[in-house]
Chain A
Amino acid sequence: MTKRIFRAILTVALSVLLASLVLIVGVLHGYFQDRVLDELSSRTAYIALGIEHEGVEYLEDGFPNDCRVTWVAADGAVLWDNREDPTQMEDHADRPEVHEALLLGKGHAARYSDTLSQKTLYYALRLPDGSVLRVSDTQYSVWILVLQALQPVALVMVLAFCLALWLAGRLARQLVEPINAMDLNDPGEEIGYEELAPLVGKLRSQKQQISRQMEDLRRRREEFTAITENMSEGLLIIDRETRVLSHNAAALRLLDAQAPAEEDSVLALNREPGFRRCVEESLAGRRREELLEREDTCCRVLANPVEQDGAVTGAVLIVLDVTEKEQRETMRREFTANVSHELKTPLTAILGTAEILENGMVKPEDIPHFAGNIHREAQRLIGLVNDIIKLSRLDEGGAAAQWETVDLRAMAEEVLRQLAPAAEKKQVTMTLEGGPTAVRGVPQIVEEILYNLCDNAIAYNKPGGSVQITLSSTPESQRVTVADTGIGIPTELRERVFERFYRVDKSHSGGGTGLGLSIVKHGAAYLGACIELDSELGKGSTFMLTFPPA
């Protein structure tokens, strides 16, 4: 802008200067031409006087040769010329200046001369004798005069030009300065120019609008971030080139990835085959669901294409943590498979035996033995079904059982009485220590727990071993400890023994349903008690059941 203003001012100054120069030259030229004509006329008059007094001798006698003098007779014949031979010259009567002089007494003209190729000024005067004296001078001399006069003018012009240069620069800067000094971010009320006021006003209102919109956007983004960051589901939004547009912390956690760099590909977060299929399919415009299984976690990825005007512009990926769900699902599947298998085993035995009996292939004396088999297997089947029913009741929340105060001592004595025949058979001695201990609980469940613990302690004992039941009570808790001297449980299986149908001894030779400890675990959980296991392989196991304060 400064440059433009500078150029504009300079152009104006320069054109004014040039115009004045041209005008001055024009005026000077006219003035000097008049002066030259004046001089010519006075000189002609002077020469005319000379000729009048002295005749032609005046002309020939050392007349200064700085201008041309022609003497023409009244009939037009050249009488004398100081530059050319008069005899060679043509008739001059028709020359305008001569013609004019003959008629009016004096005349002048300016003519372009072909012979000398320059403009010539003529002045003619009629002498008293009727002849005409003509004096001429070239215009060239006018120009010399003009140029001489112009020299100081040119100097003044150069000075004026320099002044204009300096002033133009200064003015341009001064004009632009208030605009430069203006703070565009906060244009105050003080504006250098009135003409800028609408612009500044517009600027101010737009700035306010922009900051309002920015604030709005920021708030919306914050809301969005707050919502997505607090989601437990992972959220990823990607564009058509698989670049991550938005992600939340849960997505990074579930995919076990670091925060992606700006415009990084989503494949940099995870490149498991299932995840890649999700990305590819969703960007191809199809919905896709995949399960990502890892050693200890399990995620479900839902990928949905985002379409705009019929074209896929990106995709939204939702990552769900389904570890627990999958584990439960696996457990349920295993349980169903186990239950079917466990139920089938005794039934197969019963069916086989019954078939043999039906076909009459058994000697009468062997019938009691076969019937005994059927009886034993049927009993096992009933035990199993009972255990499953108990478990499913616990799963469903204890089937509205009655909570009351239970004396652990009395309960343990009852259990020992029930198990005495089994213990005797195994040659296991059972002892009970500790006084009456009251806990809050459901009697059936407490009894079930104690029964199963003691039953196991006997079943997995060695002949001649012992089972020690200890009741202890502190203000904080009540505890039952069932310690045996049996075969023990390997350290790595301590968690698994509480699983349904899990047996340390895979051969099933120990009898039982495989559900005992599972019932104990679920029962304890139902009562809010805590079950702990301590065991040494070959030396025996100790189960500790701790009740919360009554």
Chain B
Amino acid sequence: MRNKFDEQLKRLHVELIQMGAACEDAISAAAEALLKGDESLVPAALEAERDLDRREREVENLCLKLLLQQQPVARDLREISAALKMISDLERIGDQAADIAELVSYVRVPDGSGVLHIADMTRAVIGMVTASVDSFVKRDLELARAVCAADDQVDALFDQVKRELIDMIASDAAWGQQGLDLLMVAKYLERIGDHATNVAEWVEYSITGVHPSNN
């Protein structure tokens, strides 16, 4: 009985890794499309998002089956409940990435990284998503905490991008449409950062048994 349970837990772990990887695919495709203005990558991001939706349902089913059939306790229960929470965050990241990809055809990130920090923000967010998935894969508590810390940096970058966009629109009203779209992109990125933080927090919960928000 226990053997079968262990088997299923392992499968859950693998499914989560695959979901995390799909999530990374979605965000990196969207980011590349955005930063290089390469619209050919948009379908890849949308496809990754659909893949994520499908995987979310699969993992959800697996988790519920585990909960109902095995009635896990203690650490196992923690891991499964954390997984249930994590997949919804991962799925949301995929959605936001798809949203960004859909905006790619309307926005052009102005050349020169000195103009806008949106590229920095994108890179920071991708780093966070990768690190949060990594922290889960390696059960690395330090890395999970580092992700939570990195979110402040992304928030600061969001404020900076916002100010830069205000200046841009103020200097030339023609930038209005673009500016607003870019603001949306920045907001999506900021939300992805938040979801990555959530994932890292659930990783911390599944390792320590204490959710960081309770500290």
Contact = CB atoms under 8 A, between A and B. Distances in A.
Contact of A268 (B11, B17, B25): B17
A35 interface: no
A179 interface: no
Interface in A337-373: none
B25 A263 contact: no
A486 B26 CA distance: 50
Task: Give the dominant DSSP class at B's interface.
Answer: helix
Interface in A255-295: 258, 263, 265, 267-268, 271-273, 276
Given A241-B14, A243-B10, A268 B137 contact: yes
Interface-centre pick from B7, B21, B137 (highest chain A CB count, 10 A) = B137
B13 interface: yes
Contacts of B133: 271
Contact of A267 (B7, B17, B25): B17
Interface-centre pick from A242, A243, A267, A272 (highest chain B CB count, 10 A) = A267
B171 to A, nearest CB: 31
Contacts of A276: 18, 21
B24 interface: yes
Nearest to A272: B21
A243 B138 CA distance: 15
Given A258-B138, A271-B137, A265 B13 contact: yes
Contacts, number: 32
B20 interface: yes
A268 B138 contact: yes
A271 B21 contact: yes
Nearest to B44: A273
Interface residues of A, number: 12
A242 B14 contact: yes
B209 to A, nearest CB: 20
Interface string B170-212: 0000000000000000000000000000000000000000000
Nearest to A266: B14
Contacts of B17: 265, 267-268, 271
A293 to B, nearest CB: 13
A267 B21 CA distance: 9
Interface string B108-138: 0000000000000000000000000100011
B14 A265 contact: yes
A267 B18 contact: yes
Nearest to B21: A271
A273 B21 contact: yes
Interface string B62-78: 00000000000000000
B48 to A, nearest CB: 9
B63 to A, nearest CB: 17
A335 to B, nearest CB: 26
A351 B10 CA distance: 70
Nearest to B130: A271
A263 B14 CA distance: 11
Given A258-B138, A276-B18, A271 B10 contact: no
B10 to A, nearest CB: 7
A271 B20 contact: yes
A273 B10 contact: no
A464 to B, nearest CB: 37
Nearest to A280: B18
A267 B12 CA distance: 13
Interface in B131-184: 133, 137-138
Contacts of B10: 241, 243, 263, 265
Contacts of A272: 21
A273 B138 contact: no
Given A241-B14, A272-B21, A276-B21, 15 more contacts: A241-B7, A258-B138, A265-B13, A265-B14, A267-B14, A267-B18, A267-B21, A267-B137, A268-B138, A271-B17, A271-B21, A271-B133, A273-B21, A273-B25, A276-B18
Interface of A: 241-243, 258, 263, 265, 267-268, 271-273, 276
Q: Which 3 A-B pairs have the closest CB atoms?
A: A271-B21, A265-B14, A267-B17
